[in-house]
Amino acid sequence: MAFYCYHEFKYNSAPLVMTQKNIHPQIHLKRLKTNYRLVAVLWALLIILFVTWSQQNINSEAMGLARQEAISNFNKDQAFRIWASEHGGVYVLENERTPANPYLSDVPERDVITRSGRQLTLMNPAYMLRQMMDEYATLYGVKGRITSLKPLNPDNAPDSWEREALLAFEKGELERLEVTDINGKPYLRLIRPMVTTEGCLKCHHHQGYQVGDIRGGVGVSVPLGNYYIIAMQHKISLWLSSGVIWIFGLVAAYFFRKRGEEKVYERMEFEAHIWHRANFDSLTALSNRDLFHDRLDQAIANAKRNNLKLALLYIDLDRFKDVNDAQGHAKGDLLLQQVANRLNGCVRDADTVSRLGGDEFTVILSTIADKDAAAVVAAKILDQLSTPFELDGFIAYISTSIGITLYPDDGTSSGILLQNADAAMFKAKTEGHHTYRYFTSQMNRLAEQRVNMKLALHTAIEQSQFELYYQPVFTVKDGSLDGAEALIRWRSPEDGMVSPDQFIPIAEQTGLIIPIGEWVLQQAAKDLAYLDEVGAELKNLSINISSVQFRMRDFTSNFLRFLEHHPHLRSRLTLEMTESVFIDEQGDPGYHLGQLRKHGVRIAMDDFGTGYSSLSYLKRFPVDKLKIDRSFIQDLIGDPSDAALCETIISMGSHLSLKVIAEGVETEEQWNFLLDHGCDSAQGFLRGKPMPLAELEQFICNLKMNEN
């Protein structure tokens, strides 16, 4: 089925609307997704790089601070050492904590006794500083020590790292740093050279040092624990803030992706909309003519590939125009929508229902087992559409004509199949409505004839190939001449005399009825004037007016102007119209008919009895005459129901003060029946066939002579 939905529109072909850069939307969506992933990965890498770089900064900053602490401790140590060396050491009370230094036994003034008898011993700077550093280590965790390649105290012997540093100092290096573990805890170790000063020689001259010599190194170990904690705190806030920035970036990228996708979807939606408008009928949502052709081509290609049969059904609603005109377009639209729904209900999903325009629909049965399968669907459609339609309180009954054509039996191209289905539908219509017909090759000829006739009618107008015949109309009561009906004839150079039944419907379809109707009026006016002139006056002249003609907006005003120019026609003209004229309520036929009658024009309802709802129109619209259709007169004698109908029409006419005319009277029995039942006038082959003007003139003259 051809109902549109957005998801059906899958872009399986190139997009219909070429847009910016002509990128297919699906590719666009894929690109957006890939770009988003790329941005996400790059963004994550960037953040990781930034975090790594910042961590390194934090680490080196922590190390820098630790080094600074180590240096300041080193400086203090140096200051103390210089002070102590300058003074050659410090004398302190000899006690357990500060016993006499055995490594200074060579120094003669190591131990002295004060005048008050107290025992003092010399603390050399190294000794003093070791003790101070021990205090420092206990209080602040910062360890300091001196070391030398030639230590006086074996405790001051260097470890391997210190040894390497001391050797490097001798070569001119000024500082060494390392991070190490001391008792399972991290420390920053700094070592700098210790230079011999004058004061040092007091204890160390025996080792051979000169002032300025590098005598060893002073090491300071700063605990890194606190620095690590602070660094860790910085890192945590770094991670947190970077995480937030990372997520924010991701969200922003995602937002841009979504925005991009939305734009693509908007574009797809827009294109789908355009595509839908171009391919679907806005009223019924069925596929339109363009899409129908597309689908039919596809179905044919598929059937060809798989060796299948397909059927095309051409569906035309009978008398839809009447409903549309009588009930207004809103109800007409409603009817078409309901028809579309019912049609959709009659077919499978794979089949396509389309509206070609107006009240013409098609169904493509994409695969059928055999010829009969198409008839089953056609019968189902006829059945479905025969159920009355509820149109906002108005109940409409419609009938349907269906033409069926088959692939490959009747044709192999979409154009031919459509033409054949149309011809078959036309056949169904002419053979009684509400039925279906299969296409036959003979229909081709008929269809062709219709096309040719359209063309030929144009030429007929240009070359004035029309003639006007007149059929006399008699008063039934006394058999006197009442008037005549003008009937058009077409003398075609190719086909001879063509019956108006054949060409008037085509002239109506093509609008050619307007110039033709115009010609009839002008010709009738001329002919009537001629008859007046030769003394063969006609009291009444009936002219057939097509409903298409009458519905032209300025028909009434044009006609009244025409009357003004032809005063001899005044009060002698009857316009014969069929019921379809009265049905067009929007055109206000009552008003126009009233205007015409006001100017002495009489109105006859032609073919009375063949239409429907005639009585209600009779009540509402001003008419003067009823013409009983000749189909009722034909069987008047053999068919009691036709007789009853004629009787009813005649008596109804007299009740409503309308003149009743019978047409197609061919026998005396029919005439007598009309006479017995009080019919006003009659025309027919019995008393006079339609004849050219010259014959009519003769006919009238003969009548006059007989009267005399």
CA distance 69 to 155: 25
For ligand C2E, give the closer residue by CB, 398 or 575.
575
663 binds ligand C2E (CB under 6 A): yes
Q: Which of residues 585-644 bind Ca ion (CB under 5 A)?
A: 606-607, 629
683 binds Ca ion (CB under 5 A): no
For ligand C2E, give the closer residue by CB, 613 or 631.
631
Task: By CB under 6 A, name the one of 316, 606, 642, 697 that touches ligand C2E.
Answer: 606
Give SS3 for 577. strand
For Ca ion, give the closer residue by CB, 36 or 673.
673
- The window from 96-104, 259-267, 497-505, 560-568 that contacts ligand C2E (CB under 6 A) reads 497-505
For ligand C2E, give the closer residue by CB, 339 or 524.
524
472 binds ligand C2E (CB under 6 A): no
CA distance 385 to 317: 9
CA distance 670 to 682: 10
- The window from 168-176, 329-337, 344-352, 480-488 that contacts ligand C2E (CB under 6 A) reads 480-488
The per-residue DSSP string of 322-378 comes to HHHHHH-HHHHHHHHHHHHHHHHHHS-TTSEEEEEETTEEEEEEEEESSHHHHHHHH
In the sheet that holds 90-93, the strands lie side by side as 90-93, 119-123, 111-113
Q: How many residues bind ligand C2E (CB under 6 A)?
A: 23
Closest residue by Cα to residue 499 from 513, 509, 489: 489
Task: By CB under 6 A, name the one of 72, 237, 499, 651 that touches ligand C2E.
Answer: 499
Number of Cβ within 10 Å of residue 694's Cβ equals 9
Q: Are 296 and 414 in contact (CB under 8 A)?
A: yes
482 binds ligand C2E (CB under 6 A): no
Q: Which amino acid makes up residue 645? A: L
Q: Which amino acid makes up residue 515? A: P
Task: By CB under 6 A, name the one of 69, 607, 642, 697 that touches ligand C2E.
Answer: 607
Taking CB within 5 to 8 Å according to partner kind, which of Ca ion, ligand C2E, none is near residue 70? none
The strand pair at 185-195 and 119-123 is best described as: unpaired
The nearest distance, CB 503 to ligand C2E, in angstroms, is 9
Q: Are 516 and 459 in contact (CB under 8 A)?
A: no
For ligand C2E, give the closer residue by CB, 421 or 693.
693
Task: By CB under 6 A, name the one of 365, 368, 481, 488 that touches ligand C2E.
Answer: 488
CA distance 656 to 412: 59
The per-residue DSSP string of 210-252 comes to -TT-EEEEEEEEEE-HHHHHHHHHHHHHHHHHHHHHHHHHHHH
The nearest distance, CB 595 to ligand C2E, in angstroms, is 20
Task: By CB under 6 A, name the one of 332, 411, 589, 684 that touches ligand C2E.
Answer: 684
The nearest distance, CB 297 to ligand C2E, in angstroms, is 40
Rg of the chain on CA atoms, in Å: 59
Task: By CB under 6 A, name the one of 151, 186, 500, 505 that touches ligand C2E.
Answer: 500
Query: How many C-alpha atoms does 365 have within 13 Å on its Cβ side?
Result: 28
685 binds ligand C2E (CB under 6 A): yes
For ligand C2E, give the closer residue by CB, 471 or 574.
471
For Ca ion, give the closer residue by CB, 162 or 663.
663
Task: By CB under 5 A, name the one of 196, 279, 401, 544 that touches Ca ion.
Answer: 544
For ligand C2E, give the closer residue by CB, 401 or 471.
471
CA distance 120 to 129: 18
Q: What is the largest CA-CA distance in the chain?
A: 197
For Ca ion, give the closer residue by CB, 281 or 576.
576
Partnered with residue 403 across adjacent β-strands are 314, 437
Q: How many residues bind Ca ion (CB under 5 A)?
A: 5
To which H or E segment does residue 318 belong?
Answer: strand 309-318
579 binds ligand C2E (CB under 6 A): no
666 binds ligand C2E (CB under 6 A): yes
Q: Are 312 and 418 in contact (CB under 8 A)?
A: yes
Q: Which of residues 566-585 bind Ca ion (CB under 5 A)?
A: 576
For Ca ion, give the closer residue by CB, 402 or 520.
520
Closest residue by Cα to residue 122 from 111, 133, 108, 106: 111
260 binds ligand C2E (CB under 6 A): no
The nearest distance, CB 423 to ligand C2E, in angstroms, is 23
Q: In the complex, which residues of this chain contact ligand C2E (CB under 6 A)?
A: 471, 486-488, 499-501, 504, 520, 544, 546, 576, 606-607, 630, 663-666, 683-685, 690
Q: In the complex, which residues of this chain contact Ca ion (CB under 5 A)?
A: 544, 576, 606-607, 629
